[in-house]
Amino acid sequence: MGTYSFEGVMTVCDTIDIDAESYEEALEMAQLEFDSDYYAVMPAGFSIPWDNVDVSCVSEPEDEDD
């Protein structure tokens, strides 16, 4: 009988709203929030930060013609 090792790669998806003056500022703020505030909780009871957070913009404000 042999021992087999398996790795499970899991992801989570969440949408957050960021108020910012520019896309670049909003992207930086969103990346920081996901990197610093989202943690995976292991079955043993301790938490670890995600190591591969990919942030994508799903909605931008419309241009205002004032």
Residue 64, pLDDT score: 60
6 Ramachandran zone, left/alpha/beta (phi>0; psi -120 to 50): beta
pTM for the whole structure: 0.69
- The H-or-E segment that residue 34 falls in is helix 23-37
Per-residue pLDDT of 2-60, as tens digits, reads: 888 888 777 788 999 999 999 999 999 999 998 888 888 888 888 888 777 888 898 88
Side chain identity, residue 13? C
The answer on pLDDT for 61 being more than 90 is no
Asked if residue 39 lies in contact with residue 47, where contact means CB atoms within 8 angstroms, the answer is: yes
Residue located via tokens 């190591």: 51
In angstroms, the CA 19 to CA 59 distance is 12
